[in-house]
């Protein structure tokens, strides 16, 4: 195992352990302060008030690990660690201002969701806050979604849209215990692999840390959840998913044998993006505000097909793994290989669509635990 693989492993384990240790503390704080998600106040299926500070627990563990990592870069007594980072110290200093902006953005995303969890902001105010956070990351954080665009204004607009889209998609997708955090953790694992293969060492470590944070929280959020991540957690994870996916390089003329790799983040994050598109279309068709929750998500449809909530969540996670593993070889495959794998992933999503809409309406939503 090379040095950077060890660093990625430490980042993953550090994030997981930090959140495993911190989450009980935030559960206690939520119970003492009344920061709870009460079943009569929403459309979720839980039966008792549940602590709602999961997002704060994840952010605290995440920022704590970043702080320890930065201290280790400067003061580590481990020779192998110092030697591995020495060629990159100049680059670390150069990107530090952008890293500070991205960390601030993550904090503001968590804080925006936390305020909404407590006082239920209007959709306009929430979207306005999301826009400001996304604009900050795109303007000063170095986040760019270029997809062969050359006009700076278009790049900026697409980047802002991508960040807002992921923040809302993960928010919408957080509709069953463990569903959103597990799906994002799987995606972060794939982004870690792609960044590592591409020698983007710091993005790989950043993604591995986020994966670990998600896995640590999943332990408490899995059905039956003892704490929810709330909008603070979904905004935090959605923001990081957008920033990390935009930071990974998928296409380079030096190694890319086709242009298909630029589709990889869309497929790795396909399920929350796909689910968002479907529920927005359904709500628009029914002349309802697209930001008002309902039970038309893919997970709810699986429950109406006869699965329990646990089974529905596991099925979504297995699909996320299947699509991610299927699309991963596109990174190094030739045109024919990439075309086949992209088509296969697209057809899998189509099969899922046909099944869920053909069968789900036959059974009522029992909100099984």
* Closest by Cα among 263, 293, 265, 314 to 365: 293
Look up the domain containing 260 and give its range.
254-369
Per-residue pLDDT of 272-296, as tens digits, reads: 999 998 888 888 888 888 778 777 7
pTM here is 0.92
How many independent structural domains does the chain possess? 1
Q: Is residue 290 in some structural domain? A: yes
CA distances from 354 to 12, 261, 349, 357 (A): 37, 26, 9, 6
Tell me the percentage of the chain whose pLDDT exceeds 90: 60
What is the model's pLDDT at position 289?
Answer: 81
Q: Is residue 122 in some structural domain? A: no
What is the model's pLDDT at position 367?
Answer: 44
* Closest by Cα among 233, 276, 270, 252 to 113: 233
Per-residue pLDDT of 314-350, as tens digits, reads: 999 999 999 999 999 998 888 898 999 999 999 988 8
Q: Is the pLDDT of residue 310 over 60?
A: yes
Q: Is residue 155 in some structural domain? A: no
CA distances from 248 to 26, 181, 195, 338 (A): 32, 20, 6, 18
Q: Hey, is 296 helix, strand or coil? A: coil
Per-residue pLDDT of 82-128, as tens digits, reads: 666 666 667 777 778 899 999 999 999 999 999 999 998 999 999 99
Q: Is residue 299 in some structural domain? A: yes
- Top pLDDT among 56 and 254 is at 56
- Top pLDDT among 134 and 84 is at 134
Q: Is residue 100 in some structural domain? A: no
Residue 174 pLDDT grade (very low, low, confident, very high; cuts 50, 70, 90): very high
Per-residue pLDDT of 228-237, as tens digits, reads: 999 999 999 9
Q: How many CB atoms lie within 10 A of CB 95?
A: 14
Q: Is residue 149 in some structural domain? A: no
Q: Is residue 303 in some structural domain? A: yes
Reported as type and span, the H/E element at residue 36 is: strand 36-37
Q: Is residue 121 in some structural domain? A: no
- Top pLDDT among 270 and 47 is at 270
* Closest by Cα among 172, 10, 136 to 80: 10
Flag the least confident range among 2-11, 14-23, 236-245, 354-363.
354-363
* Closest by Cα among 361, 148, 108, 88 to 239: 108
What is the model's pLDDT at position 369?
Answer: 37
């Amino acid at each position: 195992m090379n040095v950077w693989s060890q660093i990625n492993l430490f980042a993953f384990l550090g994030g997981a352990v930090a959140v495993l240790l911190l989450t009980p503390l935030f559960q206690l704080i939520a119970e003492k302060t009344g920061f709870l998600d009460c079943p009569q106040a929403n459309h979720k299926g839980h039966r008792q008030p549940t602590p709602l500070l999961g997002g704060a627990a994840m952010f605290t563990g995440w920022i704590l690990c970043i702080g320890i990592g930065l201290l280790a870069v400067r003061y580590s007594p481990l020779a192998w660690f110092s030697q591995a980072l020495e060629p990159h110290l100049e680059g670390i200093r150069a990107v530090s201002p952008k890293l500070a902006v991205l960390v601030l953005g993550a904090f503001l995303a968590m804080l925006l969701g936390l305020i909404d969890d407590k006082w239920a902001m209007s959709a306009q105010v929430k979207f306005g806050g999301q826009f400001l956070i996304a604009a900050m990351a795109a303007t000063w954080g170095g986040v760019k979604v270029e997809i062969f665009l050359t006009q700076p204004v278009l790049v900026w607009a697409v980047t802002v849209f991508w960040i807002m889209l992921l923040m809302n998609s993960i928010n919408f997708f957080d509709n069953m215990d463990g569903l959103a955090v597990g799906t994002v953790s799987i995606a972060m694992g794939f982004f870690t692999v792609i960044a590592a293969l591409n020698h983007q060492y710091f993005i790989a470590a950043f993604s591995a840390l986020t994966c670990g944070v998600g896995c640590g929280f999943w332990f408490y959020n899995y059905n039956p959840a003892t704490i929810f991540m709330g909008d603070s957690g979904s905004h935090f994870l959605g923001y990081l998913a957008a920033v990390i996916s935009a930071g990974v390089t998928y296409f380079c003329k030096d190694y890319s044998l086709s242009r298909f790799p630029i589709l990889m983040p869309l497929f790795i994050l396909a399920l929350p993006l796909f689910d968002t598109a479907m529920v927005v279309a359904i709500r628009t068709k029914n002349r309802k505000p697209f930001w008002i929750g309902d039970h038309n998500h893919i997970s709810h449809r699986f429950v109406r097909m006869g699965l329990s909530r646990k089974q529905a969540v596991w099925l979504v996670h297995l699909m996320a793994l299947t699509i991610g593993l299927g699309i991963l070889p596109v990174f190094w495959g030739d045109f024919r290989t990439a075309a086949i794998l992209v088509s296969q992933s697209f057809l899998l999503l189509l099969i899922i669509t046909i099944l869920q809409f053909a069968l789900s309406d036959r059974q009522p939503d029992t909100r099984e635990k």
